Amino acid sequence: MSLSYTWKNFADVGRAIRDRAAWEQRERWPRERLHDWQRARLADLVEHASTSTPFYRAHYGGPVAGDEVRLESLPIVTKAAMMDHLDDFFADRRLTRESLERHLQSLGERDELLLGQYRVMASSGSSGRKGIYVYDRAAWSEFLGGAMRFSRMMGLSPRLPRRCMAQVAAPDVKHMTCRGGASISVGAFRAIRLSATMPIDELVAALNRHRPDALTGYPSILALLADEQIAGRLRIAPATISTTSEVRTDAMTARIREAWDVEPFNCLGLTETGITAIDCELHAGMHVFEDACIFEVVDEQNQPVPAGTPGHKVLVTNLYNRAQPFIRFEITDLVTVTDEPCACGRTFRRITAIEGRSDDILELPSAAGGIVRVHPIQIRSPLAAMPAVSQYQITQVAGGLDVALALAPGAAADETALAVESTLRAKLAGLGCAVLHVRVSVVAHIEREAGAGKLKLIKKAPIREAA
């Protein structure tokens, strides 16, 4: 890393550390004081966005003064609208789709800054369409503050001797989980970051060497590691376990409990709003960080649903990212929120149920015989790096994979389909899979599954019922 980057990153982390006490105080504010805080930050954000970004100026029909802002009257923003007008989404006119795509393509394994001040990330398409996200250094400090709050609520404040931590998550810095881990690793913990794409035996060996006190990662991976622990191949004793980025099923939770006799924490992380919610020590739902975002659970007509009622989607507003404003941004998770106070004393509302962000781990035939388990991110990551791909869905069928592909504007259908096919074939071969057919079909758009908010990108072969 360059000296310039190191200095800037330490400064960003330092700002987050400085603000920790204020974050902690706001967790216990009376609700009315919290609402006043949200209204003030929203007014400032909307005034900035409507005067400084072409998209929001057009979206709102001109500049909006802060004292005129009414949340419920603001039109929603979809990921499709953002990506279709990406060049107009930023106050800094140097940020264009072309420059961002070029920067993403050039990223190696380091936490590099664009123009010395922006972190650029790409979603893997979990809402059915890829997204590109930009945080300036001020917003990144707020993100890091949320990560520190995450650690504190799990009882993981820094101490001497240093705790050992292990994260099993996204494999590269285009993903927020990896980017945050790389940025915040300034020596407070003895941390190791492992890729969810590693073979399970390699993960087991690395964790046995590191012997973490705290373990965090995708629930689908931690459930596999729990099986390894139960079988005796993995031999670690983490006192704290947390999951993020996917729906954690009851079965996954039960396996984690059985393996380590620990009640796991759960975290909702969104690229649009960073660390968004986490459960406290009582494990009675995830507290939404309402001082950092506005989290609206709504029905199909974008009307708020009563507390305790599952919504059709969520509208999120990031209250601190001015580089790329997200104001009433549509997230297609199915969420249930309660207004009931938590016995821990925090006044933030809690998410009691969330669905719609769970892809399958595929079990494919191995070239050497047996089965290869392929985690979704091993397939999602290479496709997320392809600018010509707008949407995709991969379904395991007899003999291989069927891929439904929607193209970005201007992309060549035949060329993109061939590139996707060859990319997936090479990835599967590298994982040790037997030769499988990969059938790519270009479609106008991809339908969502009935009853599911998010598009399920990676689907296992259906299990046939016995006759």
- The string of pLDDT tens digits covering residues 289-337 is 999 999 999 998 999 999 999 998 999 999 999 999 999 999 978 899 9
Scan for tokens 């297609």, then name that residue.
Answer: 332
Scan for tokens 């201007």, then name that residue.
Answer: 410
pLDDT in tens, 126-164: 455 678 999 999 999 999 999 899 999 998 877 778 889
Scan for tokens 């599967």, then name that residue.
Answer: 428
Q: Which of 8, 9, 4, 1 is nearest to 183 (CA)?
A: 9
Q: pLDDT band at 463, cuts 50/70/90?
A: very low
Cα 36 from Cα 369, distance rounded (Å): 62
Considering the chain, what is the average pLDDT of its residues?
88
Q: Which domains does the chain have, with CATH numbers?
A: 3-141+272-353 (3.40.50.12780), 158-268 (3.40.50.980), 362-459 (3.30.300.30)
Cα 56 from Cα 149, distance rounded (Å): 31
Distance separating the N- and C-terminal Cα atoms of the chain: 61
Cα 101 from Cα 108, distance rounded (Å): 14
Q: Please give the C-alpha separations between residue 215 and each of 101, 117, 428, 454, 459, in angstroms, as whole numbers.
A: 33, 31, 28, 27, 27
Which of 39-43, 106-110, 402-406, 426-430 has the lowest average pLDDT?
Answer: 106-110
Helices and strands of the chain, counted as H and E runs: 13, 20
Torsion of CA 411, 412, 415, 419, to 10 degrees: 20
Cα 237 from Cα 446, distance rounded (Å): 43
Contacts of 250 (CB under 8 A, 6+ apart): none
Residue 54 has what pLDDT?
A: 98
Query: What is the pTM (predicted TM-score) of this model?
Result: 0.80
Q: For 95-98, which contacts have Cβ atoms below 8 Å and span 24 or more sequence positions? A: 95/134, 95/323, 95/324, 97/132
Residue 450 has what pLDDT?
A: 42
Q: What is the CA radius of gyration of the chain?
A: 22
Q: pLDDT band at 247, cuts 50/70/90?
A: confident
Residue 129 has what pLDDT?
A: 66
Buried b / exposed e across 220-244, counting CB within 10 Å, b at 16+? bbbbbbbebbeeeebebebebbbbb
Q: pLDDT band at 357, cuts 50/70/90?
A: low
Q: Label the pairing between strands 164-169 and 190-195.
A: parallel
Q: pLDDT band at 417, cuts 50/70/90?
A: very high
Cα 388 from Cα 440, distance rounded (Å): 14
Residue 429 has what pLDDT?
A: 92
Structure tokens belonging to residue 277? 């919610």
Number of residues written out for the chain: 467
pLDDT in tens, 26-74: 999 999 999 999 999 999 999 999 999 999 999 999 999 999 999 999 9
pLDDT in tens, 68-124: 999 999 999 999 999 999 999 999 999 999 999 999 888 877 788 999 999 999 875
φ, ψ dihedrals at 453, nearest 5°: -70, -55
Yes or no: say if 328 and 427 are a contact pair by the CB < 8 Å rule.
no
Q: Helix, strand, or coil here: 403?
A: strand
Residue 453 has pLDDT above 50, yes or no: no
Q: Which of 315, 293, 289, 291 is nearest to 303 (CA)?
A: 315
Q: Helix, strand, or coil here: 331?
A: strand
Residue 461 has what pLDDT?
A: 64
